[in-house]
Amino acid sequence: MSELPQFEPTSKMPDDSLGRLHRQPEPSVTPNPGAGGVEPSPTGGGSAEEAPLTAPLAALDRTVLFVNREQSWLAFNRRVLEEAQDPTNPLLERVKFLAIASTNLDEFFEIRVAGVMELVDAGLQGENPDGIKPQEELDRIRADAHAFTADMHRTWRDHLRPELAKVGIEFRPVRQMTVGQQRWLDAWFEREIYPILTPLAIDPAHPFPVLLNKSLNLVVLLHDPRQPRRTQRMAVVQVPRTLPRILRLPEIDGQRIHVFTADIVQENLRMLFPGLEVLHVSTFRVTRDSNLEVDEIQATDLMSSIEKELVKRRRGEPVRLEIDSGAHPEVVERFLKAFGLEMDDVYLCDGPVNLGRILELYQIVEQADLKDPPAQPRRLWGWTSADELFSDLREGDVLLHHPYDSFATVEEFIRFAARDPRVLAIKQTIYRAGSKNPLVDSLIEAAQLRKQVTVVVELKARFDEEANIQSARRMEQAGVHVVYGIVGMKTHAKCTLVVRREDDGIKRYCHLGTGNYNPGTARLYTDLGLLTARADVGEEVAETFNMITGYTRVPQMEHLLVAPFTLRDKVLQLIRNEIEHRKAGKPAGIRAKLNNLADPQIIMALYEASRAGVPIQLCVRSVCCLRPGVPGLSDNISVVAIVDRFLEHSRVYQFENAGNPIVYLSSADWMVRNLDRRVEVAAPILDPELKKRVMDEVLGLALADNVKARRVLASGKSVRIERRADEPPLRSQVALLEMTMRQPETTPEGGVSDPQKRRKKKKVR
């Protein structure tokens, strides 16, 4: 087989925040429009008039080969918004999806858009794999984001708010409330809000204040009646973050009303500016560049350096101004000058400026009929002692599929290991631990019991830096050996290693997963975890930790794939193997479930496999830069995306391998940053029963979903899958939840899972 076209990153890649610019070399062959340099059909499958793409891949224009990453992400967030617009979802779940879409967009501007704007301002001409220049990319983002912002507010104004009112959850302007309600609000304002407000004048003696990132503010135009000339004054009032964003009034006059705190402040501005006439008020907030710029090579204290950058994040360069749609033109003009923005960076809001704050409504309204039914994870493993736990693991691997399987099993694994006198050492990676994490408590307890505890804490886990720093300090004070990984890379792998002294010698026990060691997100994200006592796997996990904490380069391993050393090359080789199997007439195929697919080399390899006739089925939740269904290029590739009550987060790769499938679970998506600039681990599922469970339960159900799945088109957009009239509905997450309600003695695939029965079923190690 001919070598695949290479799309290597430059030797010095930008920081993770600038990962959008994979500066790739231009194809060596001039694109030939007549040989297939055409725009794929916007419907995704290629029209009958389209000629198949028959030219070599390196000869095709990049806009044909790749979807723009940022526009693919915006298409993903539109799927989230569609869930807010879907009347089949419970009403408060729709409110939650709207809030998520809004906060997703915030982070997109803070990181992705900020990076593109930096490149435009610097005049850099780096390129995305699709060949789009930064200025053109920024123009496209702005157009899509303006339309998306308008759609979000339309969803709230025209759909969710009226439907909430129908079920007794009403939002009402303060001026439209009854006298009794207004009196209650006045008293609340004077008691709870007024004491912590600070008006900030803006004039030659008071320069424009530095407003915190995403803080909610009111801009006020004022007039002093004592002045002979009608001179307008300007002031800003920040709505304190310590206040709830939504206030629920007690039942007065037979009504239960909700009001936004910003509206209460707005109606009481006269108390802040006595003697002045309020001419105009608008709500606004500024989104700032939140990328951290830490030189790890020069930094003598990485933790302190990151803490300093976190302070700067709150006051980074402005990238977006959101303001009421009725804002006074003079206000907008002054803000543009103060923030150094263009009119295209102004997003007019017909409703609450920060729609993310309506998530509070989901939390304060306790009406079960307006939410999804509670999900109770199953507990197939309930060990009573460390000996019982480790005995079961010696008899066979344990696969956990969260949140359907309880994360408490992982917590027990760490807790029993911490307290077991036979355990000598525990090693773990932490990427997003969150606050008040029982696993961190167990690691601290283990150190206090004089075990050797080493924890790799990723201080640069975006927006979790502060929580990780606090956890790291707590562990260091308790005697845990805390390290921060490899300079220039994030440690994104999810691994735990327990070293135990037993009667026949030292044994290793491992947990390898796709998700973070975070009990909170484990209830909200779908993830896989593998507990194993396999000696060969344990040895390779130990070598991986030695590589992270020391200077050792990971050697070639039989089982684990470790980025940035072997993971990419092995995946490419496995794709090539499927091509060879197909040519030899053997069973061939590729199935994968990912969060993101953006790596040019892997996408090109998948195109080659598709051209060779290898069937490829992908489930990609978010960014997908591959164009599926293009004649002559990706006819044999289908891509679906699922947005449902749980965030699809597990990464699984399956290669048919001539009828003997190879299946990996991994912490890594197929992206340049994961494969080249992070420490990642992919672990094979070796137990035949567990392998079948992953193929059927994780991949099979996701790829068969016809309720919450969308078909991703060649244009990068997506459409809901249409069921045939005789086809029963299959919602993969509901099917998995129903499995958790079955008797625990038997798994959905018929494999024995009950611990008592498993102990009778000895396995050869």
Percentage of the residues of the chain whose pLDDT score is greater than 90: 67
Residue 423 burial (C-beta neighbours within 10 Å; 0-12, 13-18, 19+) = buried
Which residue's structure tokens are 């089982």? 559
The maximal CA–CA distance of the chain, rounded, in angstroms, is 95
Residues 6+ apart with CB under 8 A from 664: 561, 652, 653, 654, 682, 683, 684, 685
pLDDT over 50 at 55, yes or no:
yes
Say which residues have a Cβ less than 8 Å from residue 497's Cβ, sequence separation at least 6: 425, 426, 427, 428, 508, 509, 510, 538, 541, 542, 545
pLDDT of residue 463: 53
User: How do beta strands 246-248 and 561-563 pair?
Assistant: unpaired
Our CA angle for 446, 681, 305, nearest 5°, is 65
- Paired with 528 in beta bridges are 401
- Count of all residues that appear for the chain in the document: 765
Tokens at 551, concatenated: 């200077």
Confidence of residue 646 (pLDDT cuts 50, 70, 90): very high
Half-sphere exposure of 444 (CA within 13 A, CB side): 14
pLDDT confidence bin for 4, thresholds 50/70/90: very low
Q: Which position has the higher pLDDT, 586 or 173? A: 586
Mean pLDDT of 95-115: 95
Task: Name beta bridge partners: 273.
Answer: none
What the block records as the tokens of 303 is 């933790």
Residue 526, CB half-sphere, CA atoms under 13 Å: how many? 27
Rounded to whole angstroms, the Cα distance separating 17 from 556 reads 30
CA distance 139 to 70: 11
Q: Mean pLDDT lowest for which of 279-283, 306-310, 315-319, 512-516?
A: 306-310
- The whole-number pLDDT of residue 443 equals 94
For the chain, state the CA radius of gyration: 28
Q: Between 192 and 304, name the one with better pLDDT.
A: 192
Percent of the chain with pLDDT over 70: 84
> Of 486 and 195, which is predicted with more confidence?
195
Task: Give the CA angle between residues 264, 270, 276 to the nearest 5°.
Answer: 150
pLDDT reported for residue 224: 87
- Of 186-200, 250-264, 332-346, least confident by mean pLDDT is 250-264
Please name the residues in contact with 237: beta carbons below 8 A apart, sequence gap of 6 or more. Answer: 197, 198, 199, 200, 217, 218, 220, 265, 269, 272
Better pLDDT: 633 or 381: 633
Each domain of the chain, given as residue ranges in start order, spans: 102-370, 386-549, 561-730
Q: Which of 624, 584, 623, 578 is nearest to 605 (CA)?
A: 578
Mean pLDDT value of segment 233-257: 86
Q: Residue 268 pLDDT more than 90?
A: yes
Q: What is the pLDDT of residues 291-305, one digit of tens each?
A: 765 444 444 454 454
Lowest mean per-residue pLDDT among 16-30, 379-393, 688-702: 16-30
Fold assignment, 561-730? Endonuclease; Chain A (3.30.870)
Determine the average pLDDT of the residues in 389-418: 96
Q: What is the mean pLDDT of residues 598-606?
A: 97
pLDDT band per the 50, 70, 90 thresholds, residue 472: confident
The pLDDT-based confidence of 424 (bands split at 50, 70, 90) is very high
pLDDT value, residue 122: 83
Query: Would you call the peptide bond into 564 cis, given omega within 30 degrees of 0 as the criterion?
Result: yes
d(CA 475, CA 446): 10
pLDDT category at 35 given cuts 50, 70, 90 is very low
User: So what's the pLDDT on residue 252?
Assistant: 67
613 phi-psi bin (left φ>0, alpha ψ -120 to 50, beta other): left
Mean pLDDT of 420-439: 89
Nearest to 598 by CA among 567, 630, 631, 621: 621
In whole angstroms, give the CA distance from residue 208 to residue 665.
51
Instruction: Identify the CA nearest to 411 among candidates 316, 504, 518.
Output: 518
Task: Give the pLDDT of residue 22.
Answer: 29
Strand 495-502 vs strand 505-513: parallel, antiparallel, or unpaired?
Answer: antiparallel
**What average pLDDT does range 531-539 have in this prediction?**
97
Q: How far is CA 527 from CA 149, 499, 699, in A?
A: 31, 25, 12
Band the pLDDT of 41: cuts 50, 70, 90: very low
Whole-number pLDDT of residue 744: 53
Distance of alpha carbon 593 from alpha carbon 625, whole angstroms: 15
pLDDT score at 315: 54
Pick the closest to residue 705 from 592, 610, 619, 576 (CA basis): 619
Report the candidate in 142, 140, 175, 169 with the shortest Cα–Cα distance to residue 156. 169
- The Cα–Cα gap between 32 and 53 comes to 11
Beta strands in 381-504 (DSSP E): 398-402, 423-430, 452-457, 481-483, 490-491, 495-502
Residue 473: its pLDDT value, please?
84
Q: Which of 560, 534, 745 is nearest to 667 (CA)?
A: 560
759 vs 217, higher pLDDT: 217
Q: Are 403 and 523 spatial neighbours (Cβ–Cβ below 8 Å)?
A: yes
pLDDT higher than 70, residue 217: yes
pLDDT above 80: residue 531? yes
Is the confidence at residue 31, as pLDDT, over 50? no
Q: Which residue did the predictor score with more confidence, 740 or 493?
A: 493
* pLDDT attached to residue 577: 98
Average pLDDT, the chain: 86
Higher pLDDT residue, 323 or 251?
323
In order, the DSSP letters of 54-121 are -S-GGGS-HHHHB--HHHHHHHHHHHHHHHHH-TTS-HHHHHHHHHHHHHHHHHIIIIIIHHHHHHHH
* pLDDT for residue 464: 53
- Tell me which CATH code domain 102-370 carries: 3.30.1840.10
Of 191-205, 228-242, 340-354, 744-758, the one with minimum mean pLDDT is: 744-758
Residue 23 in this model has a pLDDT that exceeds 60: no
Q: Could you tell me which residue, 678 or 226, shows the higher pLDDT?
A: 678
- pLDDT confidence tier of residue 137, bands split at 50, 70 and 90: very high
pLDDT at 99: 97
pLDDT at 254: 64
pLDDT, residue 253, reads 64
The answer to whether the peptide bond before residue 27 is cis (omega within 30 degrees of 0) is no
Q: What pLDDT, on the 0 to 100 scale, is given for residue 208?
A: 84
Helix (H) or strand (E) holding 593: strand 590-594
pLDDT value for 256: 77
The pLDDT value given to residue 297:
44
What number is the average pLDDT over the span 583-608?
Answer: 98
pLDDT given at position 474: 86
Q: Are 622 and 596 in contact (CB under 8 A)?
A: yes
Other C-beta atoms lying within 10 Å of the C-beta of residue 173: 11
Q: Are 644 and 617 in contact (CB under 8 A)?
A: no
**561-730: same fold as 386-549?**
yes
* pLDDT score of 288: 93
* Mean pLDDT, rounded, for 104-127: 87
DSSP string, 276-339: -EEEEEEEEEEEE-------TTT-S-HHHHHHHHHHHHTT--EEEEEEETT--HHHHHHHHHHH
447: pLDDT strictly greater than 50: yes
State the average pLDDT over residues 244-271: 88
* Of 313 and 360, more confident: 360
pLDDT attached to residue 311: 46
How far apart (Å, rounded) are the C-alpha atoms in residues 415 and 441?
9
pLDDT of 535: 97
pLDDT at 119: 87
Residues 517 and 430 sit within 8 Å (Cβ to Cβ): yes
Give me the catalytic one of 401, 402, 492, 511: 492
Is-catalytic flag, 146? no
357 burial via Cβ count (<10 Å: 0-12, 13-18, 19+): buried
Query: 510 versus 24: which is more confidently predicted?
Result: 510
> Which of 429, 117, 152, 71 lies closest to 290 in space, CA to CA?
117
Mean pLDDT of 270-281: 92
- Are the C-beta atoms of 133 and 241 separated by less than 8 Å? no
Alpha-carbon dihedral angle through residues 642, 643, 645, 648, given to the nearest 10 degrees: 60
For the ranges 181-185, 386-390, 608-612, the lowest mean pLDDT is seen at 181-185
**Of the listed ranges 206-215, 223-232, 390-399, the one predicted with least confidence:** 223-232
Q: Does residue 746 have a pLDDT over 50?
A: no
Domain 386-549 has CATH 3.30.870.10: yes
